[in-house]
């Protein structure tokens, strides 16, 4: 146990020392010398130095940075057991699993916070939390879930599957990949630790002027999000170089599985736009710790500028979340419809169209913010224009379904539910994008319904499709199909029961981010809360299924789905080097029902190609 | 080797002179009508010179190992 | 400390490293662009008359010159001229220090003229501060490359660390190419 956790313990120790030196010690020193060192600043420097300490302890120093100083590296002894998941390991498959487990854990944490909120909202009046306590729970739920939505697909399944799907031995920069992962635990720690210093109550969007003056917990949130941003930027760059440069011979751009394309598109967004999130939060931080006047109202700042910069990232961010989900859902749909993906090229065009448009729609979040009037109409138009590339993705899904013979296993059920949920999410987005309508809908539960249909109904359902689909590859074992179906129907029905009434509640005046509401809205809230508890309980089925099947499920074999793409042509789980020899790709990825067509020629590993 | 090196160093100096000249122009451009646009164009030109000659941006277009 | 022969980058890996660094630079450029945009969004093209223009021009010149010396350093090692590489790296470092000292001098003055709580001061201090941190980190990297170089590392076939650090250094200069007019010239 201690042996397994040694690097993590070392990281924690170094991190604590780093925090102490960079925070309290430095602050105390400056104060002793007669300088001023605000507590906010102490938290920020402590958190940054603490993160560096954590990284050094957990393995960056021993396995990487010593080389910069001409010292010999000290790698940990080779270990093939579960121990390697607790190490600064460069194997993309290990890192993928690290991401998946970490962020599924955070997903359940965020879910528990949601249950708390729904408990409070079950009846009018206050029952469980204080007003301020509710705001903190709501804010923490929001940021944790956003982090999960951004990282779990790219970091988890992207890492695990992309190198396999393009026939590469690993990512282009394996150590940077490990760094991206190991930057995320401090993020979680900081978000939780923020509760010790007053939490923060400004929601995941952290709008000033409130965020410029509220409790010090806001500082930890800012540092956490900026560090998370560094991790996603490095991850995005890594995917771009990997996909551009590490493809197996013959794997042309036009032969890449659609999931790889979606990861590529999402990475384009994340490596460029994440900086605007960092910038907007850094400005808030500067207002707090350096007395600057970006947004601080009393000093003449302009808070609406924050909203512009923030959404310049955070709208593209929703596509960072949803693009890999598009890719994965289409992947599952085409394999389980046993037919080539319909309109492959149009989907690729749709992905790139989304990338292109997503930088010019941000202000649809600001229709009520007091931004210049002339921005309203163009942003309405560009936002609604995004329906075109999104529609292409949809048409491809529908076309594939129409032309195929559907094999209704659990992954396919989740993928079909994705079509339904995302349709509702997208259509309600159009209402939000319409300025006149949005003036009424903004900051109501209608918006809450919209983004839960897109993120939970769209992304998380696609995530489950993908998790069930790749589970046998990742674990080498088959999950329990019966429990999978139970989980599916339970989640699908409870999800819709929870979130559909939110549209109605929003239209009838239920504001978002409030702990209390008029008694007239009691019935709909009670219904929503009960449905939410049922939804939450459903995840236990999933958890039970995945944990027990990993331990004692039946062996899955290399290719239980008889799928054509490369990841299925090697053993389950794949060997460290992925393929005994680089596969030679000779055709498109989805060779179903085409006589004699082949995707790739492989030497070993017992799978069948095509 | 020696001559190649000397030639490349000369190119660097030429680019440097051009950058200085553009910086000088910036000073005056700040007073022209439409100054913001002029300044943006000049800055972009300076950035392009640095990116191409000092940072060898076209290396990315060229052939390489694989 | 010589790296073992096998650790040298293959042409394929070298290209990947370059591409990765370029993407990183583009991403960093986005960060600077956000702070530059905030300057215009917050206060348009207003500029205080008290700015120390000669000092601004002087540090701009120093940074521009350091790009030339950095270029010379890389070009020298690429052609096997170790002495030239070391000399030019040292010059670059010196100019980096000149630049940083200049910025500190600017800050001392600016604290009285337009402190961080004012609108111009906000953009002035955050842009010069953000950029200054990049100069500082670039200088540390240059120092590292210099020390390794003095111990006989790098050669015409194996100088990616030098190339990478120098590219980063040029990027820091490019950032200033946009910051300088934004802070000193517009308005
Ligand atoms: C299909 C096209 C879509 C359109 C037209 C659209 C439009 C909009 C608009 C106009 C708003 C602002 C509503 C308001 O605050 O008054 C909004 C909010 C939001 N949307 Fe969408 N959306 C679309 C897809 C998506 C997708 C795919 C996601 C995520 C995966 C998403 C996530 C969100 C989130 C998180 C918010 C709320 C942000 C907040 O204020 O906290 N949307 N959407
Ligand atoms: Cu949006």
pLDDT single digits (tens) A236-258: 999 999 999 999 999 999 999 99
CATH class of the C7-42+52-185 domain in this structure? mainly alpha
Instruction: List the beta bridge partners of residue A511.
Output: A444
Instruction: Return d(Cα A141, Cα A137) in angstroms, integer.
Output: 6
DSSP H or E segment with residue A584: strand A584-585
CB contact under 8 A, B4 and C186: no
C136 in contact with B, Cβ within 8 Å: no
Answer whether CATH 3.20.20.70 is correct for domain A89-562. no
pLDDT single digits (tens) A419-459: 999 999 999 999 999 999 999 999 999 999 999 999 999 99
* Cβ pair A323, A351 in contact under 8 A: yes
Among the listed residues A379, A322, A380, the one whose alpha carbon sits nearest the alpha carbon of residue A351: A322
Instruction: Return d(Cα A319, Cα A270) in angstroms, integer.
Output: 9
Cis preceding-peptide flag for A209 (omega within 30 of 0): yes
Residue C4, pLDDT > 60, answer no
**Greater pLDDT, A204 or A76:** A204
CB contact under 8 A, C37 and A309: yes
> Min CA distance, B55 vs chain C (Å)?
5
Residue A606, pLDDT > 50, answer no
Q: Residue A604's pLDDT is what?
A: 42
Cβ-proximal residues to A124 (8 Å cutoff; 6+ apart), any chain? A516, A517, A518, A519, A521, A522, A525
Residues of B in Cβ contact (< 8 Å) with C13: 65
Q: Residue A370's pLDDT is what?
A: 86
DSSP B61: T
Tokens 């982090």 -> residue: A147
Nearest atom, ligand 1, residue A422 CA: 27
Q: Residues A275-296: what's their mean pLDDT?
A: 95
Give me the interface pTM, i.e. the ipTM.
0.94
Q: Residue B64's pLDDT is what?
A: 62
DSSP A22: I
Backbone torsions φ then ψ of A90, nearest 5 degrees: -100, -10
* Cβ pair A130, A181 in contact under 8 A: no
Instruction: Return d(Cα A435, Cα A425) in angstroms, integer.
Output: 18
Residue C3, pLDDT > 70, answer no
Residues of A in Cβ contact (< 8 Å) with C28: 275
Judge if the beta carbon of residue A429 lies within 6 A of ligand 1: yes
Q: Residue A603's pLDDT is what?
A: 57
CB contact under 8 A, C16 and A245: yes
DSSP C51: -
How many angstroms from the chain centroid is the CA of residue C103? 13
pLDDT single digits (tens) A200-228: 999 999 999 999 999 999 999 999 999 99
Ligand nearest to the CA of A311: 2
Taking the centre of ligand 1 as the mean of its atom positions, its distance from the CA of residue A276, in whole angstroms, is 18
Instruction: Return d(Cα A118, Cα A474) in angstroms, integer.
Output: 35
Residue A235, pLDDT > 60, answer yes
Q: Residue A82's pLDDT is what?
A: 85
Nearest CA in chain A to C114: A292
Q: Residue A608's pLDDT is what?
A: 40
C143 in contact with B, Cβ within 8 Å: no
Q: How confident is the model at residue A140 (pLDDT cuts 50, 70, 90)?
A: very high
Q: Residue B65's pLDDT is what?
A: 42
pTM of the complete model: 0.95
Residue A607, pLDDT > 60, answer no
Nearest to C34 among A70, A237, A275 (CB): A275
CB contact under 8 A, B60 and C10: no
DSSP A205: T
Taking the centre of ligand 1 as the mean of its atom positions, its distance from the CA of residue A451, in whole angstroms, is 6
Nearest to C116 among A71, A279, A292 (CB): A292
Instruction: Return d(Cα C180, Cα C183) in angstroms, integer.
Output: 5
Q: Residues A190-209: what's their mean pLDDT?
A: 95
Tally Cβ neighbours within 10 Å of residue A58. 26
Judge if the beta carbon of residue A201 lies within 6 A of ligand 1: no
Whose C-alpha lies nearest to ligand 1, atom 16?
A: A442
Q: Residue A77's pLDDT is what?
A: 77
Q: Residues A556-568: what's their mean pLDDT?
A: 94
Judge if the beta carbon of residue A451 lies within 6 A of ligand 1: yes
Nearest to A237 among C20, C121, C125 (CB): C20
pLDDT single digits (tens) C94-112: 999 999 999 999 999 999 9
Distances (CA, A) of A210 to A85, A295, A438, A490, A511: 40, 9, 23, 40, 18
Query: How many degrees, rounded to 5, is the angle at CA A474 between CA A105 and CA A184?
Result: 35
B28 in contact with C, Cβ within 8 Å: no
Among the listed residues A165, A162, A239, A94, the one whose alpha carbon sits nearest the alpha carbon of residue A570: A165
C66 in contact with B, Cβ within 8 Å: no
Instruction: Return d(Cα A15, Cα A187) in angstroms, integer.
Output: 12
Taking the centre of ligand 2 as the mean of its atom positions, its distance from the CA of residue A558, in whole angstroms, is 41
Q: How confident is the model at residue A80 (pLDDT cuts 50, 70, 90)?
A: confident
Taking the CA atoms of residue A96, residue A100, residue A103 and residue A109 in that order, the dihedral angle to the nearest 10 degrees is -160
C35 in contact with B, Cβ within 8 Å: no
CB contact under 8 A, B57 and C19: no
Give CATH 1.20.210.10 domain extents, chain A: 89-562
CB contact under 8 A, B60 and C81: no
CB contact under 8 A, C119 and A293: yes
pLDDT single digits (tens) C5-49: 446 889 999 999 999 999 999 999 999 999 999 999 988 888 998
Q: Residues A80-97: what's their mean pLDDT?
A: 92
Q: Which portions of chain B are predicted below pLDDT 50?
A: 65-66
pLDDT single digits (tens) C139-187: 999 999 999 999 999 999 999 999 999 999 999 999 999 999 999 999 8
**Residue percentage of chain A with pLDDT more than 90:** 92
Q: Residue C5's pLDDT is what?
A: 42
């Amino acid at each position: 146990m201690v042996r397994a956790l040694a690097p993590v313990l070392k990281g924690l120790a170094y991190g604590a020392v780093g925090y102490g030196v960079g925070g309290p010690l430095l602050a105390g020193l400056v104060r002793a010398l007669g300088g001023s060192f605000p507590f906010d600043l102490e938290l920020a420097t402590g958190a940054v130095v603490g993160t560096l300490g954590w990284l050094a302890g957990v393995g960056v120093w021993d396995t990487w940075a010593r080389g910069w100083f001409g010292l010999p590296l000290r790698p940990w002894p080779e270990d093939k057991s579960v121990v390697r998941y607790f190490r600064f390991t460069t194997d993309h498959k290990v890192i993928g699993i690290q991401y998946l487990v970490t962020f599924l854990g955070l997903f359940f944490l965020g879910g528990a916070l949601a249950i708390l909120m729904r408990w409070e909202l079950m009846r009018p009046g206050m029952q469980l939390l204080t007003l301020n306590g509710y705001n903190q729970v709501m804010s923490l739920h929001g940021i944790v879930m956003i982090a999960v939505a951004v990282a779990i697909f790219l970091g988890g399944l992207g890492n695990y599957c992309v190198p396999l799907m393009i026939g590469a031995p690993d990512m282009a920069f394996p150590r940077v990949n490990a760094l991206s992962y190991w930057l995320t635990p401090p993020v979680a720690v900081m978000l939780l630790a923020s509760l010790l210093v007053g939490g923060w109550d400004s929601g995941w969007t952290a709008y000033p002027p409130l965020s410029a003056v509220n409790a010090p917990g806001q500082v930890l949130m800012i540092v956490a999000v900026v560090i998370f941003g560094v991790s996603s930027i490095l991850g995005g760059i890594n995917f771009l170089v990997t996909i551009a440069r590490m493809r197996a011979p013959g794997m042309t751009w036009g032969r890449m599985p659609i999931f790889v394309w979606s990861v590529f598109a999402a990475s384009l967004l994340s490596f460029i736009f994440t900086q605007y999130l960092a910038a907007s939060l850094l400005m808030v931080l500067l207002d707090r710790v350096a007395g600057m006047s970006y947004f601080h109202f009393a000093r003449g700042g302009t808070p609406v500028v924050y909203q512009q910069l923030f959404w310049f990232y955070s709208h593209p961010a929703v596509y960072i979340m949803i693009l890999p989900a598009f890719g994965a859902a289409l992947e599952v749909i085409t394999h389980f419809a046993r037919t080539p993906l319909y309109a492959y090229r149009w989907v690729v065009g749709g992905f790139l169209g989304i990338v292109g448009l997503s930088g010019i729609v941000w202000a649809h979040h600001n229709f009520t913010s007091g931004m210049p009037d002339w921005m309203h109409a163009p942003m309405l138009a560009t936002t609604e224009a995004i329906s075109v590339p999104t529609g292409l993705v949809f048409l491809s899904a529908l076309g594939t379904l129409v032309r195929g013979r559907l094999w209704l296993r659990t992954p396919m059920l989740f993928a079909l539910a994705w079509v339904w949920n995302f349709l509702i999410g997208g259509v309600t987005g159009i209402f939000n994008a319409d300025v006149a309508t949005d003036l009424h809908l903004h900051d109501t539960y209608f918006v809450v319904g919209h983004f839960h249909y897109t993120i939970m109904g769209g992304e998380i359902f696609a995530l489950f499709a993908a998790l069930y689909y790749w589970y046998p590859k990742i674990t080498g074992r088959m999950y329990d199909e019966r429990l999978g179906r139970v989980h599916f129907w339970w989640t699908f029905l409870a999800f819709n029961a929870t979130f559909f009434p939110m549209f109605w509640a929003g239209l009838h005046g239920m504001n978002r981010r409030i702990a209390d509401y008029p008694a007239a809205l009691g019935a709909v809230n009670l219904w929503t809360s009960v449905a939410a508890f049922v939804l939450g309980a459903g995840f236990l089925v999933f958890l039970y299924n995945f944990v027990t099947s990993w331990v004692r499920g039946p062996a899955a074999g290399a290719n239980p789905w008889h799928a054509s793409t490369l990841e299925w042509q090697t053993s389950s789980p794949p060997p460290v080097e992925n393929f005994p020899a680089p596969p030679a790709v000779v055709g498109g990825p989805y060779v179903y029902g085409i006589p004699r067509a082949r995707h790739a020629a492989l030497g070993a590993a017992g799978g069948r190609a095509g | 080797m020696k001559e190649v090196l000397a030639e490349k160093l000369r190119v660097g100096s030429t680019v440097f002179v051009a950058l200085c000249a553009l910086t000088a122009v910036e000073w005056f451009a700040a007073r022209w009508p439409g100054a913001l646009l002029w300044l943006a164009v000049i800055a972009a030109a300076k950035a392009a010179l640095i990116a191409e000659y000092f940072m060898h941006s076209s290396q990315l277009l060229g052939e390489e190992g694989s | 400390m010589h790296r073992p022969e096998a650790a040298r980058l293959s042409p394929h890996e070298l290209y990947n490293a370059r591409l990765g660094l370029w993407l990183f630079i583009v991403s960093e450029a986005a960060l600077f662009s956000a702070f530059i945009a905030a300057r215009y969004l917050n206060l348009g093209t207003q500029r205080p008359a008290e700015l120390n223009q000669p000092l601004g021009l002087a540090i701009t010149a120093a940074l521009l010159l350091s790009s030339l010396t950095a270029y010379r350093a890389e070009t020298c090692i690429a052609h096997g001229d170790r002495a030239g590489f070391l000399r030019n790296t040292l010059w670059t470092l010196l100019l980096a220090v000149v630049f940083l000292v200049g910025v500190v001098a600017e800050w001392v003055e600016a604290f009285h003229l337009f402190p961080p709580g004012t609108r111009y001061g906000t953009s002035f201090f955050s842009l010069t501060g953000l950029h200054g941190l990049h100069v500082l980190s670039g200088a540390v990297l240059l120092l590292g490359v210099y020390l390794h170089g003095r111990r006989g590392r790098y050669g015409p076939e194996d100088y990616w660390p030098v190339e990478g650090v120098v590219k980063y250094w040029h990027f820091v200069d490019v950032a200033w190419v946009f910051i300088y007019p934004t802070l000193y010239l517009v308005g």
